[in-house]
Amino acid sequence: MIEWLYLAAQGVALAMSAWFFVDTARSRQVGRRHFVGVAVLVAFLLAQLVAGIAIVPGEPGTGKGLFFSYLVTAVLVPVAASFWGSIDRSRWGIGTVAASGVVVAALMLRIHQIWEFQIHVG
Protein backbone atom coordinates (compact mmCIF):
# COMPACT_ATOMS: atom_id res chain seq x y z
CA MET A 1 0.00 0.00 0.00
CA ILE A 2 1.18 3.50 -0.73
CA GLU A 3 1.10 5.14 2.70
CA TRP A 4 0.09 8.66 1.63
CA LEU A 5 -2.66 7.29 -0.61
CA TYR A 6 -3.97 5.19 2.27
CA LEU A 7 -3.98 8.20 4.61
CA ALA A 8 -5.63 10.39 1.95
CA ALA A 9 -8.41 7.81 1.44
CA GLN A 10 -8.96 7.61 5.21
CA GLY A 11 -9.12 11.41 5.39
CA VAL A 12 -11.65 11.57 2.54
CA ALA A 13 -13.82 8.83 4.10
CA LEU A 14 -13.94 10.54 7.50
CA ALA A 15 -14.40 14.04 6.03
CA MET A 16 -17.30 12.82 3.85
CA SER A 17 -18.84 11.10 6.85
CA ALA A 18 -18.54 14.23 9.05
CA TRP A 19 -20.02 16.43 6.32
CA PHE A 20 -22.96 14.06 5.77
CA PHE A 21 -23.65 13.73 9.50
CA VAL A 22 -23.82 17.54 9.70
CA ASP A 23 -26.38 17.42 6.88
CA THR A 24 -28.21 14.68 8.81
CA ALA A 25 -28.48 17.00 11.80
CA ARG A 26 -29.78 19.72 9.45
CA SER A 27 -32.35 17.30 7.94
CA ARG A 28 -31.02 17.74 4.40
CA GLN A 29 -32.19 15.40 1.68
CA VAL A 30 -29.73 13.47 -0.44
CA GLY A 31 -28.73 15.75 -3.33
CA ARG A 32 -26.32 16.03 -6.20
CA ARG A 33 -23.51 17.47 -4.08
CA HIS A 34 -23.64 14.37 -1.90
CA PHE A 35 -23.22 12.11 -4.90
CA VAL A 36 -20.17 14.19 -5.88
CA GLY A 37 -18.79 13.57 -2.39
CA VAL A 38 -19.36 9.81 -2.68
CA ALA A 39 -17.78 9.84 -6.16
CA VAL A 40 -14.62 11.48 -4.76
CA LEU A 41 -14.36 8.80 -2.05
CA VAL A 42 -14.96 5.99 -4.57
CA ALA A 43 -12.25 7.50 -6.84
CA PHE A 44 -9.75 7.30 -3.96
CA LEU A 45 -10.78 3.72 -3.20
CA LEU A 46 -10.45 2.72 -6.86
CA ALA A 47 -6.98 4.33 -6.92
CA GLN A 48 -6.23 2.16 -3.88
CA LEU A 49 -7.47 -0.91 -5.77
CA VAL A 50 -5.37 -0.10 -8.87
CA ALA A 51 -2.29 0.48 -6.68
CA GLY A 52 -3.03 -2.81 -4.90
CA ILE A 53 -3.27 -4.73 -8.18
CA ALA A 54 0.08 -3.20 -9.22
CA ILE A 55 1.94 -3.77 -5.93
CA VAL A 56 0.43 -6.65 -3.96
CA PRO A 57 1.11 -9.61 -6.32
CA GLY A 58 4.88 -8.95 -6.03
CA GLU A 59 4.84 -9.10 -2.22
CA PRO A 60 5.82 -12.20 -0.19
CA GLY A 61 2.87 -12.51 2.25
CA THR A 62 -0.13 -14.83 2.08
CA GLY A 63 -3.02 -12.48 2.86
CA LYS A 64 -3.62 -11.39 -0.73
CA GLY A 65 -7.09 -12.88 -1.17
CA LEU A 66 -8.20 -11.30 2.10
CA PHE A 67 -6.72 -7.96 1.06
CA PHE A 68 -8.62 -7.79 -2.21
CA SER A 69 -11.91 -9.09 -0.80
CA TYR A 70 -11.84 -6.36 1.86
CA LEU A 71 -10.82 -3.70 -0.68
CA VAL A 72 -13.57 -4.61 -3.18
CA THR A 73 -16.08 -4.57 -0.30
CA ALA A 74 -14.82 -1.09 0.69
CA VAL A 75 -15.49 0.15 -2.87
CA LEU A 76 -19.00 -1.34 -2.95
CA VAL A 77 -20.21 -0.18 0.49
CA PRO A 78 -20.52 3.59 -0.21
CA VAL A 79 -22.05 2.92 -3.65
CA ALA A 80 -24.67 0.55 -2.23
CA ALA A 81 -25.34 2.89 0.72
CA SER A 82 -25.91 5.80 -1.70
CA PHE A 83 -28.62 3.86 -3.53
CA TRP A 84 -30.14 2.60 -0.28
CA GLY A 85 -29.98 6.01 1.42
CA SER A 86 -31.11 8.17 -1.49
CA ILE A 87 -34.56 6.51 -1.60
CA ASP A 88 -35.31 7.87 1.88
CA ARG A 89 -36.99 11.25 2.23
CA SER A 90 -36.13 11.75 5.90
CA ARG A 91 -32.87 13.02 7.38
CA TRP A 92 -31.67 9.43 7.75
CA GLY A 93 -31.25 9.09 3.99
CA ILE A 94 -28.03 11.07 4.10
CA GLY A 95 -27.38 9.70 7.61
CA THR A 96 -27.17 6.21 6.11
CA VAL A 97 -24.62 7.36 3.51
CA ALA A 98 -22.70 9.13 6.31
CA ALA A 99 -22.49 5.85 8.24
CA SER A 100 -21.06 4.12 5.17
CA GLY A 101 -18.06 6.48 5.40
CA VAL A 102 -17.32 5.15 8.89
CA VAL A 103 -17.67 1.58 7.59
CA VAL A 104 -15.17 2.38 4.81
CA ALA A 105 -12.72 3.84 7.36
CA ALA A 106 -12.98 0.67 9.48
CA LEU A 107 -12.49 -1.57 6.44
CA MET A 108 -9.46 0.50 5.35
CA LEU A 109 -7.96 0.13 8.82
CA ARG A 110 -8.31 -3.65 8.51
CA ILE A 111 -6.90 -3.59 4.95
CA HIS A 112 -3.88 -1.66 6.19
CA GLN A 113 -3.35 -4.23 8.98
CA ILE A 114 -3.51 -7.08 6.46
CA TRP A 115 -0.97 -5.22 4.31
CA GLU A 116 1.42 -4.66 7.23
CA PHE A 117 1.22 -8.08 8.87
CA GLN A 118 0.21 -10.52 6.13
CA ILE A 119 1.50 -9.11 2.84
CA HIS A 120 4.37 -6.61 3.19
CA VAL A 121 6.42 -8.89 5.44
CA GLY A 122 10.13 -9.72 5.63
Partner 1 sequence: MSAEVRAPRSLADGFGRLIVLVYVVFAVSAGARAGYQVATKFAEAPLSFTLSAVAAAIYLVAAVAIIRGAPRTALAAVGVELVGVLAVGALSVANPDWFPEPSVWSHFGSGYGYVPLVLPVAGVVYLLRRRAA
Binding residues for partner 1, rule: CB under 8 A, are 66, 69, 73, 77, 81, 84-85, 88-93, 95-96, 99-100, 103, 106
Whether residue 6 contacts residue 101, with contact meaning beta carbons closer than 8 Å, is answered with: no
Least Å distance, CB 4 to partner 1, is: 25
Least Å distance, CB 81 to partner 1, is: 6
Give the whole-angstrom CA distance, residue 30 versus residue 96: 10
Nearer to partner 1, 39 or 80 (CB): 80
Nearer to partner 1, 12 or 77 (CB): 77
Whether residue 103 contacts residue 82, with contact meaning beta carbons closer than 8 Å, is answered with: no
Nearer to partner 1, 41 or 77 (CB): 77
Give the whole-angstrom CA distance, residue 114 versus residue 73: 14
Least Å distance, CB 80 to partner 1, is: 8
Whether residue 38 contacts residue 78, with contact meaning beta carbons closer than 8 Å, is answered with: yes
